[in-house]
Structure 1
Amino acid sequence: MSQHIWRKSSRCQEGDACVHISVTGETILLSDSATPDPSSILSVGRDTFTDLIRILKADG
């Protein structure tokens, strides 16, 4: 994907489309393995990412 160190979601099964994450300082990069093109990378701040995870966990 790029020079960033990407990690795959722990919920990803082999062969599934997965969410990948890369942490660069105060910025979190998110990418979907189904569309690995650099133009499809979402960039958010740490606080926004933390809010997103909290909301997703609450919706369970």
Structure 2
Amino acid sequence: MTADPEWRKSSYCGEGEACVHVLATPGHLVRVADRADPAHLVLATTQAAWADFLRAVKEHG
């Protein structure tokens, strides 16, 4: 039996579920949603593109 994937809530989020959630599994796409529910998926990208995005945000954010 495989465990359900674990969505991680943004560290910038306060209380509640109106936050960005991210799911990344080794060798697969990174999924971004507005809550920890795949039905609310708003973006799916490669791990390399996600890493580039995070790097750019940290450098220019």
Q: Please, what TM-score do these two structures have when normalized by structure 1?
A: 0.71
Q: Secondary structure at the match of 2:13?
A: coil
C-alpha deviation, 1:41, in angstroms = 3.6
- Tell me the C-alpha RMSD between the 2 structures: 2.0
Point out the structure with the larger strand share. 1
Structure 1: segments with no counterpart, 5+ residues:
none
Partners of 1:37 and 1:16 in 2: how far apart? 14
Q: In the alignment, does 2:38 pair up with 1:29?
A: no
Partner of 1:43: 44
Q: Look up the equivalent residue of 1:13 and give its one-letter code.
A: G
C-alpha deviation, 1:58, in angstroms = 1.7
Q: Secondary structure at the match of 1:42?
A: strand
**Are the counterparts in 1 of residues 33 and 40 from structure 2 also a CA contact under 8 Å?**
no
Q: Sequence identity of aligned pairs in percent?
A: 34
Aligned length: 56
Q: Please, what TM-score do these two structures have when normalized by structure 2?
A: 0.70
Q: 1:32 to 1:39 in 2, by over 3 A?
A: closer
Structure 2: segments with no counterpart, 5+ residues:
none
Q: 1:10 to 1:23 in 2, by over 3 A?
A: same
